[in-house]
Structure 1
Amino acid sequence: MAAKFVSLLVTMFVFASTLISSSNALSLNYYDQTCPNAETAIAEAVHKGMINDKTVPAALLRMHFHDCFIRGCDGSVLLNSTVKNQAEKDGPPNISLHAFYVIDNAKKQVEKMCPGVVSCADILALAARDAVSLSGGPNWNVPKGRKDGRISIANDSLQLPFPTFNISQLQQSFSQRGLSIDDLVALSGGHTLGFSHCSSFQNRIHNFNNKTDVDPSMDPSFASSLRQVCPMHNTVKNAGSFLDTSPTVFDNAYYKMLVQGKSIFSSDQALLTNSRTQALVQKYAASQPEFYEAFANSMVKMSSINGAGTEIRLDCRSINH
């Protein structure tokens, strides 16, 4: 198994090295001298979290994405609200984020070894990587050296791409953060992990438009099963659907379902409305190794979005005083 991905890992390392050479802020060996065992401690915290809760990997990957897309990767999504300020984690798209305790546990272990050295933003970036690799997905070298931000505003979370976005809106959202249309398709593959509440895809299965109740691009039997789980006037708390057929395994099932008309979000289906994105979807549906390589490369790129952090937080939930 390891030998199978040697060339893949080499490619990822070369890509990461190239990217980091153009940035003074991040480095693959940032903690080699100051906290050499940090990555091991973080991986152990993620693994322990996964043993108790199979939704932890999806939660950590989503948390990292939601962090980087607001103020850059500065750990601002980890901050708690205060009397004077409602923080990002309490903004509408982030209310369902969870597993913050895994980051807390990782931080506690790292602080025991190297007090005041490793940022919460770096811990989150590493934890997201571990969440993927421990779920059967690719591994990659994470550039480190992020600083933690002191600003977190709930309404800023409305800048996140919505599950109802079309391809133009998605392209614009990613482009504003220095991410390409190829990154969009690769990072959408993160939907191979996790679950969605009915509210995020209700628009596709009820009152789709004036002519039809259900999105015609959706497989009829699949749509019917979703309508049973999520009726028009749903009263079941936390009702919803897994995002693919193997929601705790990081694989390419998401793309296979997408080409079959069995995607959950409008933003997923949107990837089939552009010739470039459609070709990439079909490529990743046919080849899991090619998806792994693209995902790892795009994760390095996304996790390197510059944040305006200025400190190493001692507690990931609050700024230093």
Structure 2
Amino acid sequence: MGFAFLFQLLLLSAFSIGVSKGQLSVGFYANTCPDAESIVSSVVRNAAQSSSNIPPVLLRLHFHDCFVEGCDGSILIENGPNAERHAFGHQGVGGFEVIEQAKAQLEAICPGVVSCADIVALAARDAIVLANGPSYDVPTGRRDGRVSDVSLAANMPDVSDSIQLLKDKFLQKGLSETDLVLLSSAHTIGTTACFFMTKRLYNFSPGVGSDPAISPDFLPELKSICPQNGDVNVRLPMDRGSEQTFDKQILDNVRNGFAVLESDARLYDDDTTRMAVDSYFGFLSPIFGSSFEADFVDSIVKMGQIGVKTGSAGEIRRVCTAFN
């Protein structure tokens, strides 16, 4: 009987090892490439010194990578006009050269060890820190995908999506309504183009020129930056008043009609997402309420595990723009 119990215990241990081996873990490269995370941080920091736009660009890159084929670096591939990165939903996504630079440095000291997908996730964390946002542990161990096709990005969340459609798209990725609110708040840093504002300002719906959710105090300001038939490439901050600092100001703007992006404004159209937004404000919220920074970290770590490839799946690319 003792032998049978011991045999069962050994089986259970073997199963547990098999399960954990296929998952992401903090410090995955501690033995195989101990300087991996510090190298990525250094590259991101240096890039940000040259351009203040680098932090929001790298944060957005992580989101767009994870929402197509999972967090597997598929958006980095450049294999012609049908590459995923050329999808309409990926317009304006950048930061590729920063990821490639980090990869080159890592290949020089740890060839074939650190995945491009992990570099993207680490760079997003470092970008948030540079914008005075929270630092957090990034579970690593992702492997790079072997598929990149423009058609696979057809269902990216869009600025003109209804709140129900946004909720559905996030739910399909295993993300909740609260995750939708928190990940949308990544718009606290960075800019958008007037191209994405035209419908909201001048053709919101039949018989209604502008989105009624826009505060009357804010509408003239938006229209002056993005005049009708003006230059659609002009850029404006997504978080009015706090575009270079990672904070919850973006959610306060949503509450008060100062959201720039239509999709952000829609967060206040739904009871569940409205409650999530409001939970970060109020007289007692700093003491007894939810922590915006801690909750954001939970959501982005959760997002970073969508459809990951681990173990023997995928590959470790030599360069991030091409399959091996």
TM-score with structure 1 setting the length: 0.88
Q: Could you tell me which residue of structure 2 aligns to residue 243 of structure 1?
A: 238
Quote the Cα distance in structure 1 between the aligned partners of 2:281 and 2:261.
17
- Cα pair distance change 1:285/1:194, threshold 3 Å: farther
What are the equivalent positions in structure 2 for 1:1-321 lying under 5 Å apart? 24-82=22-80, 86-234=82-230, 236=231, 238-244=233-239, 245-285=241-281, 290-308=291-309, 310-320=314-324
CA–CA distance in structure 1, aligned partners of residues 164 and 233 of structure 2? 30
Please state how far the C-alpha of 1:22 moved relative to its aligned partner: 6.9
Aligned partners of 2:250 and 2:259 also within 8 Å: yes
CA distance in 1, matches of 2:123, 2:218: 33
2:32 alignment partner, SS class: coil
Q: Following the alignment from structure 1 to structure 2, what is the Cα–Cα distance between the partners of residues 209 and 179?
A: 29
Task: Name the counterpart of 1:3.
Answer: none
Q: Which runs of 5+ in 1 are unaligned?
A: 1-20
**Per-residue Cα deviation, 1:163-217 (whole angstroms, up to 9, x for no partner):** 0111110110001001111111111110101111112122211022233211111
Alpha-carbon contact 2:238-2:259 (below 8 Å) kept = yes
Equivalent AA in structure 2 for residue 319 of structure 1: F
2: CA distance, partners of 1:210 / 1:310: 48
- How many residue pairs align between the two structures? 297
Distance apart, 1:269 and its partner CA: 1.2
Contact 1:252–1:285 under 8 Å retained in 2: no
Partners of 1:61 and 1:264 in 2: CA distance: 18
Is the CA contact 2:195–2:232 (under 8 Å) kept in the aligned structure 1?
no
Q: Secondary structure at the match of 1:221?
A: coil
Contact 2:36/2:106 (8 A) holds in 1: yes
Question: How far apart are the structure 2 equivalents of 1:210 and 1:111?
Answer: 55
- CA contact under 8 A between 1:75 and 1:121: conserved in structure 2? yes
CA distance in 1, matches of 2:155, 2:198: 21
Q: Structure 1 residues 279, 143: closer, same or farther in 2, change over 3 A?
A: same
Residue 10 of structure 2 is matched in structure 1 by none
CA RMSD of aligned residues (A): 1.7
CA distances 1:218-239 after superposition (whole Å, capped 9, x unpaired): 11131111112212212x2521
Structure 2 gaps of 5+ residues are 1-18
State how far apart, in whole Å, the 2-side matches of 1:65 and 1:250 are: 16
Q: Contact between 2:195 and 2:233, CA under 8 Å: does it hold in 1?
A: no
* CA–CA separation in structure 2 for the residues paired with 1:79 and 1:240: 27
SS at structure 2 position matched to 1:241? strand
Question: Structure 2: which amino acid aligns with 1:306?
Answer: G
Q: Do the aligned residues in 1 keep the contact of 2:161 with 2:263 (CA within 8 Å)?
A: yes
Distance 2:115 2:252 in 1: 37
Cα distance in structure 1, aligned partners of 2:263 and 2:185: 12
Q: Which residue of 2 aligns with 1:17?
A: none
Q: C-alpha separation between the residues in 2 aligned to 1:109 and 1:283?
A: 43
Query: What's the % identity of the aligned pairs?
Result: 39
Paired amino acid for 1:239 = V
- CA distance in 2 between partners of 1:114 and 1:249 (Å): 34
Task: Provide the secondary structure at the position in 2 that maps to 1:159.
Answer: coil
